[in-house]
Amino acid sequence: MPFKSLDELRAACLDLAAGSDAAANAVARRQDTLTKPQGSLGRLETIAAWLARWQGRDMPQLDRVKVFVFAGNHGITAQGVSAFPSEVTVQMVANFAGGGAAINQLARIAGAELDVIPLDLDRPTGDFTQEPAMDDEAFLAAVSAGYGAVMKDLDLVCFGEMGIGNTTPAAAISAALFGGGAEKWTGRGTGVDDAGLVRKITAIEAGLNRHAEALADPLKIAAALGGRELAAIFGATLAARHHGVPVLLDGFVCTAAAAPLARLHPAGLAHTLAAHVSAESGHRRLLEALGLPPLLDLGMRLGEGSGACLAVNVVRSALECHARMASFAEAGVSEK
């Protein structure tokens, strides 16, 4: 286990490289020579430079792209916060293994490997209205599982999650990190009715009140109010930064899982892009709070890393244009 204490994890969160200015600048210079008006490909140009910065390569590559889906179960479901029972988490992990989920199809078409990592599904986290979701040991174990999953030889990673009830801890973490109360951050998740939405808001407010002493520390927030799959995403996001691997963040749960890193370090999520903005109501607010403009807005709210995986195709398009377009000189096209 790479992290044996919160202090050790905190030190790792503060020790973050800034990426390669030289590689990003090399991409920008090449973009200005290609057969198009400068800047006319918009964010496709900046995506190519972002890849170069975090890969540390003048010419980025996408030979090995991987999607990690972390799965966990939540004690907070006892408060009636989800439209589905918690056993669906295990059933969906089996569906992933059988190739029958949306993420299986999206990973295939994006040319990405898929790795599904279940985390103690037979042992739900604590009900955070009654106790911390995880003690330090459980939290560090989940963070370490995510950290250890990401290898240095990857070119791009997407993170996703599966965990019935997990939009509730995502909303709780968002409220704890950025304020505004539970109602501001809470949506309908898997499709709860009005009574279910009230139960979610009530549970989150109870959790914020019960764990008020933890709210000044992003790591303690993630342990007290989060879930194993969220903690693993946090660890995986940190590992990607340390290994020089750019990250596509998925929806509300994934973004909330990574958000404590931005509170610990002002550029903690600079190596990430928001793949999309989900239909879950708190996600757009969270992306705005983090300063992460989304690549796509398709009304999705599935999770599983589905939006992130879909955005891999946009990133591949950015790289293809950068790498394969001719320059004005090569094409014999007159410049302005």
CATH fold group of domain 6-331: Rossmann fold (3.40.50)
- Asked if 303 contacts 161 with a C-beta cutoff of 8 angstroms, the reply is yes
CA distance 275 to 262: 17
Contacts of 56 (CB under 8 A, 6+ apart): 19, 20, 23, 244
* pLDDT value, residue 336: 78
Residue 327, helix vs strand vs coil: strand
- Asked if 164 contacts 78 with a C-beta cutoff of 8 angstroms, the reply is no
Distances 8 to 1, 226, 270 between C-alpha atoms, Å:
12, 19, 22
Question: What is the 3-state secondary structure of 219-271?
Answer: HHHHHHHCCHHHHHHHHHHHHHHHHCCCEEECCHHHHHHHHHHHHHCCCCCCC
- Segment 195-210, tens digit of pLDDT: 999 999 999 999 999 9
Tokens 């020089």, located at residue: 244
Give catalytic status of residue 304 as yes or no: yes
Q: Is the pLDDT of residue 1 over 80?
A: no
Tokens 């968002």, located at residue: 174
- Asked if 67 contacts 107 with a C-beta cutoff of 8 angstroms, the reply is yes
Domain locations along the chain: 6-331
- Segment 277-325, tens digit of pLDDT: 999 989 999 999 999 999 999 999 999 999 999 999 999 999 999 999 9
Average pLDDT over residues 57-66: 97
Exposed/middle/buried for residue 331 (C-beta within 10 Å: 0-12, 13-18, 19+): exposed
**Which residue in the list 161, 229, 280, 304 is annotated as catalytic?**
304
* Cα 77-248-183 angle, rounded to 5 deg: 40
Element (H, E) at 273: strand 272-274
Strands 247-249 and 113-118: unpaired
CA distance 84 to 165: 8
- For the record, the structure tokens of 149 come out as 């999953």
- Segment 206-253, tens digit of pLDDT: 999 999 999 999 999 999 999 999 999 999 999 999 999 999 999 999
- Asked if 12 contacts 3 with a C-beta cutoff of 8 angstroms, the reply is yes
CA distance 316 to 322: 10
CA distance 288 to 193: 27
pTM for the model: 0.97
- Segment 129-175, tens digit of pLDDT: 999 999 999 999 999 999 999 999 999 999 999 999 999 999 999 99
- Segment 262-279, tens digit of pLDDT: 999 999 999 999 999 999
DSSP 8-state secondary structure symbol assigned to residue 212: G
